[in-house]
Structure 1
Amino acid sequence: MTASQAWHGAGPPLPQFWEFAAPPAWLSIDFISDLHLQASQPRTTQALAAHLLHTSADAVFILGDLFETWVGDDARHDAFEASIADMLKDASARRSLAFMAGNRDFLLGGSFLQECGVMALPDPTVLVAFGKRLLLTHGDALCLGDTAYQRFRGEVRTEQWRRSFLKRPLTERRALAARMREGSAEHQRAQPAQSGADVDPAAAVQWMHEAATRLLVHGHTHRPATEEIAPGFTRLVLTDWELDRTPARCGVLRLSERGLERVAPAGPAPAA
């Protein structure tokens, strides 16, 4: 763990950068994000189950938005959430799993992860593996141009808000989450091309500089790409998973001794 320093200049303060070194026995690591699992989209859930079962990777790192919504760990006993817990338990018996909270499932807590055998990753995390240093983040904290979202994010990430929300009955929390999703969708439709919905390049480079890495891996934006955002600084945006609508898409970013490569999920295609 390295202590962060204040940002010199405009912008929010830098976060802390937690560091994780991959075990020497690992040969490859898969990165995925933005699956937005929900009962109404079974093909996406099937694709994840197949990948966790069949991938050759030693570890799978999920960089946020595994669930469409997560309203508290007490929801894990409901049918759909319990089925995902069983999936993760089975997968964690075969290979290492790690999870970083996203904007949709930031309330997913340690009790659920521990029960499923999944390691919690702080956002951001510096991964040291195969002679490389990569900065991992969900990505929403770097979308500084979307000021309305950043205000909302700052409010709901406070301990006071979390305690107040989690005290509500589960059914009420689900209803509130549904309304928040509707509000988010309306916001996106009103500004479909807003640049603020993407990562701020200057802030991203500042993070990378502080973390002593030139590689950034993130999700959140649903805009998969590999691009140099400043000379010598590259970001790799993960593919969101959407297999229940057309056009379908999903993808995995794999890290090994060969470097970083994009591969298709392992296993058979989900049933129609």
Structure 2
Amino acid sequence: MDFISDLHLSPDLPQTVAALRQYLESTSADAVFILGDLFEAWVGDDSAALPFEARCVEMLAAAARRRPLYVMRGNRDFLLGAGFFEATGATELPDPVALCAPAISDVPVLLSHGDALCLDDTAYQQFRSQVRQPAWQQAFLSKPLAERQTIGAQMRAASREHQQRAQPITYADADPALAQQWLHAAGSRTLVHGHTHRPQSEQRTEGWTRHVLSDWDCDDATPPRAEVLRWSVQGVTRVTPAAA
């Protein structure tokens, strides 16, 4: 089983899109789990008719015909709806969700995008609470597609400005106490999440393990970033897409 996240697909990142396509066509994984922020922005399922989004939907649909494909909403693409999942054939993942794989382990792994765990990012948590409300989403989706695209671009610009101001040492990370609560409720001792763009694996002194997924950027990053977290009977390993 493979886990990836934070691909932030957009027309501005053609090499990243190409890397994902190659990976989805060639991976030997039994199933692929995309844990949020598959797209840089998704302003409604009607955007699937746009040229770039239509190509991405076709790519995902082809991948889902080859092996099970699971997609979780992130903070960038929280408006992925029923139309997206129907068009791609991907299975919708709630956040968080416990993944049971008896052939690998008798203890489930807890999966999350990770943004809800970053409690210290109070401004974002307020924004998240607002935009996850059904009334807000209904009002937003009732706007013309072009207007929604403009609003989405403005939100992304504000987010980039916020990230540029935040120093890496102070940029919000997952709250350990809340993560431990989630794990206890799920009967799990392993958390896999994305969102923070700080790939690492750590063994917590409280007795649980955290695996943070890498973001993907094969266009602007030097060297390019792309990584797959693989869970198998051999344990958890990190591999490049080309080797997956």
| Coarse TM-score class (shorter-chain normalised) | over 0.9
| Cα deviations by residue, 1:100-140 (Å, 9 ceiling, x for unpaired) | 00000000111111111100000001001112310000000
**1:231 CA drift (Å):** 2.6
Say whether 1:85 aligns with 2:22.
no
Give the Cα–Cα distance (whole angstroms) in 1 for the partners of residues 164 and 11 of structure 2: 24
Q: Is the 8 A contact 1:92 1:116 kept in 2?
A: yes
Q: Which residue of 2 aligns with 1:213?
A: 188
**1:196 CA drift (Å):** 5.3
| Cα deviations by residue, 1:128-168 (Å, 9 ceiling, x for unpaired) | 11123100000000000011110000000000100000000
Say whether 1:246 aligns with 2:218.
no
Q: Which residue of 1 aligns with 2:233?
A: 257
**1:267 CA drift (Å):** 6.8
**1:229 CA drift (Å):** 3.2
Q: Is the 8 A contact 1:143 1:197 kept in 2?
A: yes
Residue type at the aligned position of 2:227: G
Q: Which residue of 1 aligns with 2:202?
A: 227
SS of structure 2 residue aligned to 1:210: helix
**1:194 CA drift (Å):** 5.5
SS of structure 1 residue aligned to 2:230: strand
Q: Is the 8 A contact 1:34 1:239 kept in 2?
A: yes
Residue type at the aligned position of 1:45: V
Q: Which residue of 2 aligns with 1:64?
A: 36
TM-score when normalising by structure 1: 0.86
Structure 1 runs not aligned, ≥5 long: 1-28
The number of equivalent residue pairs is 240
Q: Aligned in 2, Cα 1:243/1:196: closer, same or farther, shift over 3 Å? A: closer
SS of structure 2 residue aligned to 1:99: strand
Segment of structure 1 superposing worse, 256-265 or 166-175 = 256-265
**1:176 CA drift (Å):** 0.4
Q: Which residue of 1 aligns with 2:68?
A: 96
More helix by share: 2
Which of 109, 115, 118 pairs up with 1:143? 118
TM-score when normalising by structure 2: 0.95
RMSD: 1.3
Say whether 1:48 aligns with 2:57.
no
SS of structure 2 residue aligned to 1:93: helix
Give the Cα–Cα distance (whole angstroms) in 1 for the partners of residues 171 and 7 of structure 2: 22
Runs in 1 of length 4+ with deviation above 6 angstroms?
none
Give the Cα–Cα distance (whole angstroms) in 1 for the partners of residues 185 and 169 of structure 2: 28
Q: Is the 8 A contact 1:144 1:200 kept in 2?
A: yes
Q: Is the 8 A contact 1:53 1:267 kept in 2?
A: no
| Cα deviations by residue, 1:60-105 (Å, 9 ceiling, x for unpaired) | 0000000000000000000000000110111111111000000000
Which of 95, 98, 114 pairs up with 1:126? 98
**1:239 CA drift (Å):** 0.8
Percentage of pairs with the same residue = 54
**1:195 CA drift (Å):** 3.5
Which of 178, 186, 201 pairs up with 1:203? 178
Q: Which residue of 2 aligns with 1:38?
A: 10
Residue type at the aligned position of 2:235: G
**1:188 CA drift (Å):** 1.4
| Cα deviations by residue, 1:18-48 (Å, 9 ceiling, x for unpaired) | xxxxxxxxxxx10000000001110000000
SS of structure 2 residue aligned to 1:262: strand
Segment of structure 1 superposing worse, 92-101 or 228-237 = 228-237
